[in-house]
Amino acid sequence: MNHSAALSEQLLQFSPDALIVVDFHGVIRFANETTRSLLGYAPGALVGQSIDLLLPARLRARHAHYVAQYQRAPVGREMGARSADLVARRADGSEFPAGIRLAPFDWEGRSYVAAAIRDMTDRRAVNEALIVARAEAERANRAKSRFLATASHDLRQPMHTIRMLNASMQKLASDPGGLRDLLRSQEQAIDGASRLLDALLDVSRLESGAITPQIEEVNLEAIFAELRREFAAPASVKSLALDLPRSEVALATDRLLLSQLLQNLLGNAVKYTERGAVRLGESVDAEGLQLVVEDTGIGIPADKLERIFDEYYQVDHDGRPREGVGLGLAIVREVARLLGYEVSVQSTPGHGTKVTVRIPRERVLRQAAPIARTPGPSGNAAPIAGRLLLLEDNPSVRAATELFLSLEGYRTLSAGSIDEALKHGPQLAPGDVLLADYRLGGSETGLDALHRLRAMLGWEIPAVLLSGDIDSVLRVTKEPIGHCRFLSKPVDTRALTAAIAELGAGAQSSDGTATAVR
């Protein structure tokens, strides 16, 4: 035997797998040395024996069936990597989980099958651990979804009550000093907790893949108008010029997600700017649309730019107290990922920051006609002439809301269910407004209440609907609903009174007739 043939022989005999060759009748014709350590048989003791010898007695009948099947269509294949029931039997009767690789071949006019046998104990243990880990991850994911659902409703509900009570106490506090200051501090704490709750829920929802963008045609001006309204007050408190152009662009996008992205960028621009201006610019070129949020604020050091999109990362701006929780840009990152936008930041410390959002050309649909919009009232709105029908199934939220509304000067009718609300129907007249919680007991919603009430009244009573999960609600209510505003819980009480005033006044249109269809 030459050197290489001798080496091949050694490899065959001492391969890491036990190798055997079986003939067409299931008789072992060859076994290598490894069968000794793996199966406990000397090779010579196996040759001439039935392959059944290597199987536990209980599996022999089934094995005969497999062999017959295999002989009809012999192909190379692997067995036992996953299935736990492929077991081999050692000479001493003990068993081990086996992985077997089969290779059919013909030699001198006869058919044979070569089998490589391997002990799979470790691999199966790893597989089993993986299966357990996967089940655990799926369980954790389900728990996270449940937490999200619970947090978005059950946690916002008490927050909403606390906010209502705080607004009422501020109204009631007669001494201009101590108590009012305390209540204002409390209000700030409530604002902080609400923002954190919103940001946490937004990030988890975006990351968990629970959100699929709902692409529709969106006039940018509709979003810009909302942003102008939202940021007018915070910018004027700091005497910042707020510059949002009137837009004529229409995009194929998800309206809520794009608003959320711009809200976070503008929110940061206002937050991190003490003097000067905050600007939102737009330009269309061959590449697509660029939206640029620019400020003249404190800026971000170059070595921190990489990290600002990470969750909870906040730049230490020289002892400046931290505002926010470090999730705003993580939300921007996730929204941009979902919508296929590119976001980049340029910043000069001490001079300002510029964030550019690039939206691909094919998403820009056209130059849309700007939407005429009357800016909503800001600050404290005067109560409407009509009454409010309050529909809220939770008694403590209802009581807190009634108290707040009566202190604001509204005349209120209260209901805990749709049926109770309908009972007030005969007393309602144009100029009245429905204020309803979106999620009522059972499967009923404030929207069901609105439709039933409108059907019963025969005219379109305006409505404000409150929801802890406004995004989901807006996703299910595809059709725009006339004279209806959705507000998020815990509600900003100023936004609430402004919405009621706008709708109550709108119901009495300029020629004195109500928009009612009697």
Q: What is the dihedral of CA 497, 279, 212, 134, to 10 degrees?
A: -110
* Closer CB to ligand ADP, 301 or 425, in the complex: 301
Q: How many residues bind ligand ADP (CB under 6 A)?
A: 21
Q: Which two tokens stand for residue 283?
A: 């330009």
Of residues 228 through 257, those in contact with ligand ADP by CB under 6 A are none
Amino acid symbol at 299 = G
> Does the footprint of ligand ADP cover residue 359 (CB under 6 A)?
no
CB of 347 to ligand ADP, least distance (A): 7
- Do 360 and 352 meet the contact criterion of CB atoms below 8 Å apart? no
β 110-119/18-23 pair status: antiparallel
C-alpha 482/C-alpha 451 separation (Å) is 11
Backbone angles phi, psi at 352, to 5 degrees: 145, 175
Burial class (CB in 10 A: 0-12, 13-18, 19+), 445: buried
The gap from C-alpha 385 to its chain's centroid, in whole angstroms, comes to: 41
CB of 281 to ligand ADP, least distance (A): 14
With CA atoms as reference, report the closest residue to 434 among 442, 456, 443: 456
- Do 230 and 170 meet the contact criterion of CB atoms below 8 Å apart? no
Q: Which two tokens stand for residue 23?
A: 């003939």
CB of 222 to ligand ADP, least distance (A): 24
> Does the footprint of ligand ADP cover residue 472 (CB under 6 A)?
no
Task: Out of 272, 341, 410, 438, point to the residue binding ligand ADP (CB under 6 A).
Answer: 272
* Closer CB to ligand ADP, 153 or 271, in the complex: 271
* Closer CB to ligand ADP, 169 or 308, in the complex: 308
C-alpha 250/C-alpha 218 separation (Å) is 5
* Closer CB to ligand ADP, 64 or 325, in the complex: 325
Task: Out of 151, 179, 232, 325, point to the residue binding ligand ADP (CB under 6 A).
Answer: 325
CB of 315 to ligand ADP, least distance (A): 3
Q: What is the dihedral of CA 179, 180, 184, 187, to 10 degrees?
A: 70
> Does the footprint of ligand ADP cover residue 314 (CB under 6 A)?
yes
* Closer CB to ligand ADP, 96 or 309, in the complex: 309
CB of 240 to ligand ADP, least distance (A): 12
Taking CA atoms, 138 is separated from 113, 141, 143, 148, 209, in Å, by 42, 5, 9, 15, 14
Q: Which two tokens stand for residue 232?
A: 């007018």
CB of 257 to ligand ADP, least distance (A): 16
- Residue least distant from ligand ADP (Cβ): 324
Of residues 199 through 228, those in contact with ligand ADP by CB under 6 A are none
CB of 338 to ligand ADP, least distance (A): 17
* Closer CB to ligand ADP, 77 or 320, in the complex: 320
* Closer CB to ligand ADP, 281 or 326, in the complex: 326
Task: Out of 43, 80, 97, 328, point to the residue binding ligand ADP (CB under 6 A).
Answer: 328
Task: Out of 28, 162, 167, 327, point to the residue binding ligand ADP (CB under 6 A).
Answer: 327
Task: Out of 326, 376, 383, 416, point to the residue binding ligand ADP (CB under 6 A).
Answer: 326
> Does the footprint of ligand ADP cover residue 383 (CB under 6 A)?
no
Three-state DSSP at 250 gives strand
Of residues 274 through 313, those in contact with ligand ADP by CB under 6 A are 295, 297-300, 308, 313
> Does the footprint of ligand ADP cover residue 353 (CB under 6 A)?
yes
- Do 388 and 424 meet the contact criterion of CB atoms below 8 Å apart? no
Binding track over 81-120 against ligand ADP, x by CB under 6 A: ----------------------------------------
∠ at Cα 261 (346, 233), nearest 5°? 90
Q: Which two tokens stand for residue 494?
A: 């100023």
Residue with tokens 């501020």: 170
- Do 218 and 253 meet the contact criterion of CB atoms below 8 Å apart? yes
Of residues 51 through 70, those in contact with ligand ADP by CB under 6 A are none
Would you tell me which residues interact with ligand ADP (CB under 6 A)? 268-269, 272, 295, 297-300, 308, 313-315, 317, 324-330, 353
